Amino acid sequence: MFIDFQDYFVDRLIKLRMKKGVSAREMSLSIGQSVGYIAQIERKHNLPSMNVLFYICEYLNITPKDFFDEGIDAPEIYGELTKNLKELNK
């Protein structure tokens, strides 16, 4: 089964951005990009560079691995739980 990477990326970005409750404009400015940058990605006119992907993930408080893991519905919570679990004593 063929999955279009751009469709997957855009769908995931929209879902995570909306879950955070921010507009595309707000997210664009927060990651140091032009006002319409995220909107261009969401309209499939562009894909981010690897550098910008890292900024997107940092803004969403997730890892790039979590960004691409559809099995994790709330990656920011998952990341925080994982971090806390690693700090527990055996």
Distance CA 12, CA 40 (A): 15
Q: List Cβ neighbours of 30 (8 Å cut-off, separation of 6 or more).
A: 22, 59
The pLDDT tens digits of the residues spanning 15-55 come to 999 999 999 999 999 999 999 999 999 999 999 999 999 99
pLDDT beyond 70 at 1: no
How many angstroms separate the CA atoms of 87 and 49, rounded? 33
Taking residues 56-74, report their average pLDDT: 87
pTM of the model: 0.79
Which of 24-28, 59-63, 72-76 holds the top average pLDDT? 24-28
Q: What is the pLDDT of residue 60?
A: 94
In order of start, what are the domains of the chain with their CATH numbers?
A: 5-87 (1.10.260.40)
